[in-house]
Structure 1
């Protein structure tokens, strides 16, 4: 079996487990939006990582299905609420929950998903339930902190690159790291190995988010699944923006700051102008280098793991596949 086959097997395993849990329930207006957002697909990167990590550390991936479900349901809960906060029209190429129903439904269904995520961990015995729940709660709070940093940055003109990297670490990377460490815990891995795999997930998660920011500006809307240029329209201080401010000549820098202080009626012109500054300033090249740097940092943490070399190779293949998105 090739590495890609193994990843596909975990994805199928997870999807069939998810489908078995998506049983229509009353009240319909609470549960239908949950089924809708979870049914939109996506790569299922986080649950796949939980199953894969369990397997690579010698555990049974089927034992990790509920932990993987907790991760995926929590992730989708955060997307429903983030989309409300961002007033986003699209998620994975489809209409967002709050647009399809309304904001109140999005809030309440999201709340139920957060509680459901914890319920999926209840089947584990106490000696596993406790470390899983401690890790999950720590991660959930950090995701909220990351989202708040993200919101704060929209109205600040002095955001630094280290602050931005901390924000994406909390908002995105810690959940990837949590997904992997949960797998290690369920497989009975040592604390050292569980921590190393956490760091692998954390660095890969930062690389993934930096790439997501890049694709938000330069991706193909058909395959990217979100509104291209959304971060620019929302005046989000992404890595590209911060690097452009650092590198651009004075005139471009002032123009960029002005564009990020307004909401023009014609957002297409704004997006095109900003993208040109990103490219000409060297910010795009800097972003590519940073993505590569965090990907390599992730791979470096694999060296100390006490797992067979072929298992480390599978993690490298997954990382490379994830970072080769060109959409």
Structure 2
């Protein structure tokens, strides 16, 4: 089964799903956000994990969409917190409507996510909801750590990896675990799927950090250098702060971090040059590959025919090689 078949089925499910009708101000923003595209990576992982163990992977579509609705709920609220003007190249919900509408629509999206999750079989329902609850709380924990880091100057590499594990990776892990649970794959298999997803999720975020500095502006889809402009505590910045100690780059890097007024393009160019002089890109790519390779090793341990695992291997390679 190809990625295209799974993706088409998910897109059809998204198009057919109704979240509510009235008042329109509550439900229209949900339809709007869900229609903006995106990679649909999380529901893809769920249906592909289900397909490893059963041909009846369509039974995973509604719960998989539940994961995607939850993910978009977090984006809607994140955009409010970040005062972000754009999402996937279009106005964010709080910009198109207002923050109060975005908060309330986001709240009902969470309810819709739970409603879609009820499509799982009764015998796994309680366990699925328990794992979903834990994952949802961890995503919020990750977001709070990310906000905490903005005002701290002592963030460690270990703390950063744990933050992106919570904010990004655990939901990818749950997406795969959910597919294993739906297919009744067994405890060992679902744990391996979860571990696979968590590791590639960390690799995915590290790739995002690299693209933010070194991506092609035409392909990346958002401003290159945004993390540098905001002094965001990415793996690249933390490693640069560590490796520049006692070197000429230390004072130069700190000058740009402390600057209150600056030309954005000049700052991005200057900090990128510091990264280049310290070899940060190669180190970040090695770290990224470490997590992707660990994830692929988890998948290799999974007791299933290789042809059943091939779509997940292909998707992982696409994530490693992506330019946006």
Q: Distance in 1 between matches of 2:218 and 2:76?
A: 21
Shift of 1:9: 0.7
TM-score under structure 2 length normalisation: 0.95
Q: Which residue of 2 aligns with 1:147?
A: 143
Shift of 1:29: 1.5
Q: Deviation string for 1:267-294 (max 9, x for gaps)?
A: 2222222222122211111111111111
Does residue 230 (structure 1) correspond to residue 233 (structure 2)? The answer is: no
Q: Which residue of 2 aligns with 1:99?
A: 95
Q: Distance in 2 between matches of 1:268 and 1:88?
A: 20
TM-score under structure 1 length normalisation: 0.94
| 2:36 aligned residue (33, 40, 53) | 40
Q: Which residue of 2 aligns with 1:292?
A: 289
Instruction: Indicate if the aligned counterparts of 1:46 and 1:176 stay in contact, CA closer than 8 A.
Output: yes
Shift of 1:265: 5.2
Q: Distance in 2 between matches of 1:261 and 1:145?
A: 28
Q: Which residue of 2 aligns with 1:7?
A: 3
Change (3 A) 1:228 1:102: farther
Change (3 A) 1:227 1:114: farther
Shift of 1:215: 1.2
Superposed, which structure 2 residues align to 1:1-327 within 5 Å?
A: 6-22=2-18, 25-58=21-54, 60-248=56-244, 250-264=247-261, 266-327=263-324
Q: Deviation string for 1:20-62 (max 9, x for gaps)?
A: 1146722122111111111111111110110110011225221
Across the two proteins, how many residue pairs are aligned to each other?
A: 323
Query: 3-state DSSP class of the match of 2:63?
Result: helix
Q: Report which stretch shifted further, 51-60 or 284-293.
A: 51-60
Q: Distance in 2 between matches of 1:32 and 1:146?
A: 28
Change (3 A) 1:104 1:233: farther
Q: Report which stretch shifted further, 133-142 or 220-229.
A: 220-229
Change (3 A) 1:221 1:107: farther
Q: Runs (4+) of structure 1 moved beyond 3 Å? A: none
Change (3 A) 1:89 1:277: farther
Structure 1 spans left out of the alignment, 5+ residues? none
Shift of 1:243: 1.0
Query: 3-state DSSP class of the match of 1:280?
Result: helix
Instruction: Indicate if the aligned counterparts of 1:94 and 1:225 stay in contact, CA closer than 8 A.
Output: no
What RMSD over aligned residues (CA atoms) do the two structures have, in Å? 1.6
Query: 3-state DSSP class of the match of 2:322?
Result: coil
